[in-house]
Amino acid sequence: MTDLKMAEVATKPATTQVLSVSDLQAWYGESHILHGINFNVNAGEVVTLLGRNGAGKTTTLKSIMGIIGKRTGSIRFDNQEIIRTSSDKIARMGVAFCPEERGIFASLDVRENLLLPPIVRPGGLSLDQIFDLFPNLKERLNSQGTKLSGGEQQMLAIARILRTGARFLMLDEPTEGLAPVIIQQIGHTIARLKSEGFTILLVEQNFRFASTVADRYYIVEHGKVIDGFANSELSSNMDKLHTYLGV
C-alpha cells in the first residue's frame, strides 16, 4: 500500500480537512530530506508524527510553515495551496509553529516574551486565559525568559503562540528533556486546547506521551510516511511500533 493510500485510509471521512500534504519534497541546500510526504489533518484533531531522529518530522513542520526555502509538492491549508506562500502570510492564515528549541529571548522577561508576537487573527487567548493554563508563568512575569526552568520555558513557548489567534498549532517535541510532572501538565494543556477547538500537529519521539493525547499517528521514516493508524487501532499496531521506533 502506498503512503498516499495509507493517509487516505487513516482519514475520518465525516470531518473537515484542515491540512492536506501531498508528495512533499524538501531540501536543505543540496541535501534531499523529504521524499514525498503524504498525510492530512482534520479539524479539531491531534495528529502526531512519530519517527526516529533524522526521519524528517521537524523538516515537515518547517516546510508547512514556509521556513524551508526549497520544497515542492502540495500543501493545502483551509483549501488553499500554500506551497509558495511566505511564512508571514501562512501565520496570518492561523498557523503557528512552536519549535523544539523554544526560541525564548534571553534579554526579555516573561511578559515581554508573551507580548512580542503580533496578533494575526481574532480569537487569541488573553493573558488571563493563558495564566489559567499556565499559572507558573503569572508568578514569573518579571523573570528573564532564559532564567526559567526547562518546563517553564516550554510553557512560555506554547503560551506565546496562543495569543496570536492561530487555531492550527504545530508543536515540535514539546516534552523533550522535561520532568514527568511537566510532561503530564503539557498533556493536560493539549487536551484542553483540543476541547476548545484547536487543531494540533505534534512531532514526538516520546510515544508514551503521544498515546495519551493523539487521535491519529503517522510514522515518518527516511523522509516518507510509511504507515498511519488511529488511536483506536493502537493495540493492534504495537508490534509495528516496536519495529519502527524501538519503543
The CATH number for 74's domain is: 3.40.50.300
Measured CA to CA, the distance from residue 176 to residue 154 in angstroms comes to 9
Confidence at 123, pLDDT banded by 50, 70, 90:
confident
DSSP H helices in the chain: 3-10, 57-65, 87-92, 110-115, 127-133, 135-139, 150-162, 180-195, 207-213, 238-245
Task: Write phi, then psi, for 192 (nearest 5 degrees).
Answer: -70, -40
Q: What is the pLDDT of residues 60-110, one digit of tens each?
A: 999 999 999 899 999 999 999 999 999 999 999 999 999 988 889 988 999
Specify the pTM: 0.90
* Phi–psi pair at 225, nearest 5 degrees: -80, 120
Beta strands 216-221 and 70-77, pairing class: unpaired
pLDDT at residue 73 in the model: 98
Rounded CA separation 217/234 (Å): 9
Query: Grid coordinates in use for 141?
Result: 512575569
The residue segments making up the domain with residue 47 are 3-245
- For residues 140-160, one letter each, b for 16 or more C-beta atoms within 10 angstroms of the residue's C-beta and e for the rest, the string is beeebbeebeebbbbbbbbbb
pLDDT given at position 205: 85
Helix (H, G, I), strand (E, B) or coil at 228: strand
Give residue 27's pLDDT band: very low, low, confident or very high (50, 70, 90). Answer: very high
The rounded mean pLDDT for the chain is 91
Whether residue 136 has pLDDT greater than 50: yes
Residue 54 contacts by C-beta under 8 Å, 6 or more apart in sequence?
Answer: none
Could you give the C-alpha distances from 212 to 20, 101, 123, 149, 190, in angstroms and in order? Answer: 24, 23, 27, 24, 10
Total of domains in the chain: 1
